[in-house]
Structure 1
Amino acid sequence: MTKLKQIAIALPVAAIISALAACSSANDGVAGSEGSGADGSRARLYNSPEDMASDSSAVIVGTVSGTRTVDDIDATTDFTLSDLRVDKVLKGGFAEGASITVRQLGSKEQAPPATLLKPGSEYLLYLTASGLDGDLAKQYYVTGGNAGLYAASANSTASTRANLAADDAGFAQVDPEPGENLPESLTAESALG
């Protein structure tokens, strides 16, 4: 095998390994099974929202407008891409109302290691730039694979997009990780610490 062929094979494999390391916790294998906990462990556990915000390119409140499954790294590994409308910017260079794409490993057909974002749902998200090439460079991963994923709380009194983006709207951690010291719930006001 030529050196060029070896490199062509090694690059997609390295990208998948990096994605798996970032998302190495596991839930019960059912997409969207919120609060299922984790069987694996992440590469880094966070002690505070400040630590997680420091590792993040952006922190936003957003609403998922749609999802799709792609296999754009290799032909066998599914990624779910979620399009989000940015409702509030807490960190990062987005404009409110902008559209961004969040990448998550797995799909409904391939058990994801973390809960997948749901269309129509609102989230407080800590995001990390994908680090991928070309148009994929414009996409983001959830920081820590699942650490930076907080969903609008069922007990939150907010019921409209404007209220969910309010500083005091509540968001609950979706996939808590044993041994991590992140709060079970956050508001936009407390998200940066």
Structure 2
Amino acid sequence: MRTRALTAALVLAAACALSGCTGGSSGSRHTLYDSIDALAADSSAIVVGEVARQRTEGETTISSVVVGSAPTNPQLGAEVDGGASAIESGDVVDVRQTTSPYLEVGGRYALFLTPTMLEGDAASQFYVTGAEAGIYACEADSCHRVALDSGDDLPETIELAG
């Protein structure tokens, strides 16, 4: 009996490690990112903006982000159905987080975003690509990763041109 319990625990731990489970997530991630280009390829948009307001719907936090700029990357949308989204400075995008929200009202962030593929009002909203992997908090001209322990091998600091 003890051997079965140990075996089950090891199988669960291995499955979690292979699927990219993170402590702050309510589910597993199937992709861990090793470069900004890879993160951009799985994103339909990159935005730098300020969180103007938040609301909750059940266990989901929805942050309304006023876009200050929408940087580009040659790989942007390469792996996303429909490719890159047409988001421009001044637009407001709603970002859904089902994990503990990293975004705070008044905070300025660089966000790598993916369409929700949900129905109804949520169809026009976005998820952060790679859960917390696609969130960088911005100060002045540089942006810093908010979750260094996500399992991704991404730079801690990035500079994005508009």
The answer to whether the superposition gives a TM-score over 0.5 is yes
Alignment of 1:112-131 (within 5 A): 112=100, 115-131=101-117
1:16-55 alignment, distance < 5 Å: 24-27=21-24, 42-55=29-42
Secondary structure at the aligned position of 2:89 is classed as: coil
Alpha-carbon distance in 1 for matches of 2:22, 2:67: 26
| Percent pairwise identity | 37
Residue 170 of structure 1: which of 131, 135, 142 is its match?
Answer: 142
What residue number does 1:9 align with? none
- What amino acid sits opposite 2:95 in the alignment? V
Where structure 2 has 5 or more consecutive residues not aligned to the other structure, the ranges are 1-18, 73-84
**Residues 45 and 180, structure 1, Cα contact 8 Å, conserved in 2:** yes
Aligned counterparts of 1:128 and 1:178: Cα–Cα separation in 2: 18
Q: How far apart are 1:178 and its partner, in Å?
A: 5.6
Deviation at 1:67, TM superposition (A): 0.5
- Sort the Cα spacing of 1:178 and 1:86 in 2 relative to 1 into closer, same or farther, 3 A: closer
Q: 1:149 is matched with which residue?
A: 135
TM-score, normalization by structure 1: 0.62
Conserved? CA contact 2:60–2:97, under 8 Å? yes
Structure 1 residues 23, 143: closer, same or farther in 2, change over 3 A?
farther
TM-score when normalising by structure 2: 0.73
How many aligned positions are there?
131
Matched with 1:80 is 61
Show structure 1 runs of 5+ residues with no match: 1-21, 28-37, 72-77, 107-111, 159-168
Whether the 8 Å CA contact 1:172–1:186 is kept in 2: the answer is yes
